[in-house]
Amino acid sequence: MRFNTVTIKDIAKALGLSTSTISRALRGGYEISEETKKIVTAYAEKINYHPNPIALSLKERRSYSIGIVVCEIANNFYSQAIDGMESVAYTAGYNVTITQSHERFDREVLNVEHLASRSVDGLLISLSSESSDVSYLKNLHNQGLPIVLFDRVTDEIDTHKVIADNFKGAFDATEYLIQLGHKKISHFTSSAHLSVTGERLEGYKAALKKYDIPFNTDYIKYCELGGSNQEEIDKATKEILALKECPDAIFFAQDKLSAGCLHAIKKIAPDYFSGIKIAGFTNSTVVDLFNPPITAIRQPAFEMGQAAMELLIQLIESKKPVTEFETRVLHTELIINNPNQ
Amino acid sequence: MRFNTVTIKDIAKALGLSTSTISRALRGGYEISEETKKIVTAYAEKINYHPNPIALSLKERRSYSIGIVVCEIANNFYSQAIDGMESVAYTAGYNVTITQSHERFDREVLNVEHLASRSVDGLLISLSSESSDVSYLKNLHNQGLPIVLFDRVTDEIDTHKVIADNFKGAFDATEYLIQLGHKKISHFTSSAHLSVTGERLEGYKAALKKYDIPFNTDYIKYCELGGSNQEEIDKATKEILALKECPDAIFFAQDKLSAGCLHAIKKIAPDYFSGIKIAGFTNSTVVDLFNPPITAIRQPAFEMGQAAMELLIQLIESKKPVTEFETRVLHTELIINNPNQ
DNA sequence: ATTGTTGTCGGGAACGATTGCGTGAATATT
DNA sequence: AATATTCACGCAATCGTTCCCGACAACAAT
């Protein structure tokens, strides 16, 4: 720490040995006698010596720290994923630096470059809803920075990826709504160039098709800002409520959209509340307490975080350059929340 | 980064100058001619030179990074506070490393020591519910590590603190419940040695006293694990439901407790749902969608984060040792959520 | 012509740790 | 007894950067 930071030199001076001897004794070099080792380790223990990680980073050209970029930590999916990442990282001796893009491209770039320049050993990233151009990431990746993408991925970068089975999750949820008797199912989703948006939309479409329900573009609402802007959601909500064939169910692609839309309905057309059925992607632990209840498509966020971190560390610690990449697809779970009582 | 990391030496070699000249030219040293400066900066720009922050940290004995320790980022209060901290830190040129204690003392110590050894310039911490002994923190603080406490603080350490007006928040919420006609008000809270626990309990007591309602210890439930363990909450819930004077309102000191208790009631005694009135500390943006609705005591989390970070940076950048410390108390807000419709 | 300024720049130590190489002594080998 | 081997340790370079001391011009002042 800042004050009396005790270094290897202090030990050397106190014991009348050279710094190299101390260094080797501490890390068990074969060339140091057992006796000296004992003296050194005992003294190091006594004065509470810890090697300076900054100096090590400079020398070894690595930091044993890993950068994480998500759009919002205040989203259960991401905070659970981060928990998974942390659990793997800590046992492997890495620490993590978490940053948020707040769904903004410029913040994402800033964060990534900051992390890269601070010599993180690798990067775990889920793209912001504004990120259509990922060339800045590609450059970094080409320069040799190990990157693993999760959740919101891109084909532009050839590396490991960890995603949920968004197609099937969306399909299951839509099918569930259909089986309840709904045919007029709206779909609220986020920015069109996000990988998850496309996959979830396709799952929705496939379920409709299976039950011969025509696909109606009026029912699809893209909220570019992914729920961070309530006005955008209000507008979309008004639009679907104004349709002559007003939907009787909504399928949400994002956690924040469902909450935002419920707020909008409550504000705009509170009497509409009782009839509507809602399903959506969310990892919230409290949606079962909602009124109306929300049927949840739950992603294995913790496991996704674990998998992503495992793949990244594998990449970092690989001796030879890795050229074979895998995309892990984890299953979602449909959690049906019936009305209270 | 890891590969062709371009250093000051490369520039020196390419331009036939010494590293010292480059260094000075880049940071505008007075001793370098304008002409040379131009050449150097132009070339640095061209090959995309960025000073190595690791080397700087080693030299300057500071890292321009700040450590944050909270119990859970998956808690709206903390994630909002972190947003506030980030906003201040980034404009001041610092970056932050976020860690979680998961309400465990050992994790907290591990995180703090890791951060300290990685030479963070300062620490922002909200204590875990298990942390009664803070001597490890005190030691670090005495060694010169700047620390600002927020939310869950301790008297043991003499430094800046940022807290919410927990007493008044609890008082207001309890008074609100009383004014609705409730007299049998239970209080669920977390670990007894947390600062917020005491302050909120006192506020609750004061409101009871004002309205001449006797204080009943049977109504007070300490959940030591602060809501991270559902069984603990189930047990407490069963106990209050089994009382002959069963409470008709509950005041929660923690976000997770209210959700946990609602889950418990739903499971144990679903018919009890309609009558009960609930108020609690929470920064969730969705409690208004709950059934039953929850009246929320909202802390200015973002502002608390900002204030804490400002005080910390002030501490870090102060030339002379700071001996006068302040405790900032920010006001809470009571948000009344009526039943739907 | 000598000394003093000023303007530009380079040499090299330092931050804390690791590590290849060298060295001297003790011991083993022939 | 002479040489080889092993043991235990020190020297110094290295990572990228800053900064204290010079150094050496050109020019002004004496």
In DSSP notation, B113-168 reads: HHHHHTT-SEEEE---TT----HHHHHHHHTT--EEEESS--TTS-S-EEEE-HHH
Note the pLDDT of residue B143. 85
How confident is residue B340, by pLDDT bands cut at 50, 70 and 90? Answer: very low
Residue A337: band (very low, low, confident or very high) from pLDDT cuts 50, 70, 90: confident
Protein-to-nucleotide distance from the CA of A76 to the C1' of D19, whole angstroms: 49
Highest mean pLDDT among A17-26, A284-293, A326-335: A326-335
User: Is the pLDDT score of B175 beyond 60?
Assistant: yes
Split at pLDDT 50, 70, 90, the class of B2 is: low
User: What's the mean pLDDT in A36-51?
Assistant: 92
Q: Across the interface, do A74 and B54 touch by the CB < 8 Å criterion?
A: no
Residue A272 predicted with pLDDT over 80: no
- Residues of chain A contacting residue B114, judged by C-beta atoms under 8 Å apart: 95
Nearest CA in chain B to A122: B2
Residues A188, A200: Cα–Cα separation, whole Å: 10
A-chain residues within 8 Å CB-CB of B340? 266, 270, 273, 291
CA gap A312, A160 in Å, rounded: 8
Tell whether B62 lies on the interface with A, counting CB pairs under 8 A. yes
pLDDT value of position A1: 41
Instruction: Sort out which chain A residues have CB atoms less than 8 A from B54's CB and list them.
Output: 54, 57-58, 63, 118-119
Cα distance between the two ends of chain B: 57
Cα gap B226→B232, rounded to integer Å: 9
Residue A224 has pLDDT above 50, yes or no: yes
Residues of B in contact with A270 (CB under 8 A): 340-341
Residues of chain A positioned with their CB less than 8 A from the CB of B8: none
Mean pLDDT of B312-341: 88
The whole-number Å distance from B58's CA to C15's C1' is 5
B87 shares contact with chain A (CB less than 8 Å): no
Q: Which residue has the tokens 């009246």?
A: B295
* Burial category of A307 from C-beta neighbours within 10 Å (exposed 0-12, middle 13-18, buried 19 and up): buried
Please, which residues 241-280 of chain B have a Cβ atom closer than 8 Å to chain A? 259, 262-263, 266, 270-271, 273
- Kindly identify which residue of chain A lies nearest to residue B80, measuring between CA atoms: A74
What is the distance between the alpha carbons of residues A94 and A28, in angstroms, rounded to a whole number? 22
> Prior bond to A292 cis, omega within 30?
yes
Q: Quick one: which residue's CA is nearest to D16's C1'?
A: B55
B278-307 pLDDT, tens digit each: 999 999 999 888 888 899 999 999 999 999
CA distance A210 to chain B (A): 33
Protein CA A317 to sugar C1' C10 (Å): 41
B334 beta partners: B297
Residue B308 clears pLDDT 90, i.e. is over it: yes
Mean pLDDT of A216-226: 91
Task: Decide: A309 and A84 in contact? Cβ < 8 Å.
Answer: yes
Q: What is the pLDDT of residue A4?
A: 60
CA–CA gap between residue A133 and residue B135 (Å, rounded): 49
Mutate which: A73, A286, A294, A315, vs B, most B CBs within 10 A: A286
Rounded distance in angstroms from the CA atom of residue A13 to the C1' atom of nucleotide C4: 45
pLDDT at res. A260 = 92
Tokens standing for B216? Answer: 């009943």
**How many whole angstroms separate alpha carbon A324 and alpha carbon A333?**
29
Q: How many CA atoms lie within 13 A of A61 on its CB side?
A: 9
Is the pLDDT at B1 greater than 50? The verdict is: no
What pLDDT shows up at residue A2? 52
Q: For residue B146, is pLDDT > 70? A: yes
Closest-CA distance, A201 to chain B, in angstroms, reads 26
Place of tokens 């490890």: B136
Phi then psi for residue A173, to 5 deg, are: -65, -45
CA of A50: which chain B residue's CA is closest? Answer: B117
Chain B touched by A50 (CB under 8 Å): yes
pLDDT: which is higher, A15 or A272: A15
**Helices of type H across A164-224:** 166-179, 195-210
- pLDDT for A146 equals 95
Q: Tell me which DSSP letter residue B290 carries.
A: B
Per-residue pLDDT of B221-252, as tens digits, reads: 999 887 888 999 999 999 998 898 889 999 99
Of A4, A226, A45, A219, nearest to A126 (Cα)? A226
Handedness of CA A89, A92, A95, A101 (dihedral sign): negative
For each of the domains in chain A, give its residue range(s) and CATH number, in order of start.
Answer: 8-51 (1.10.260), 62-164+301-331 (3.40.50.2300), 166-298 (3.40.50.2300)
pLDDT at B341 over 50: no
Q: Is the pLDDT of residue A341 over 80?
A: no
Query: Angle A5-A6-A8 (CA atoms, 0-180°, nearest 5)?
Result: 135
Checking if the pLDDT of B339 tops 80, the result is no
pLDDT for residue A93: 87
Is B15 a residue whose pLDDT tops 90?
yes
CA of B52 to C1' of D15 (A): 11
The answer to whether residue B209 scores a pLDDT higher than 70 is yes
CA B78 to chain centre: 5
Burial level of A220, CB count in 10 A (0-12/13-18/19+)? middle
Contact A118 B98 (CB under 8 A): no
Band the pLDDT of A63: cuts 50, 70, 90.
confident
Cite residues whose beta carbon is less than 7 Å from strand D: A 16-21, 31-36, 55, 58-59, 61; B 5, 7-9, 19-20, 23-24, 26-27, 31, 49-52, 55-56, 58-60
Confidence tier at A232 by pLDDT (50, 70, 90): very high
* Residues near B329 by beta carbon (within 8 Å), at least 6 away in sequence: B163, B164, B165
- Contact list in A for residue B97 (CB cut-off 8 A) is 95, 97-98
- To the nearest whole number, what is the mean pLDDT of chain A? 91
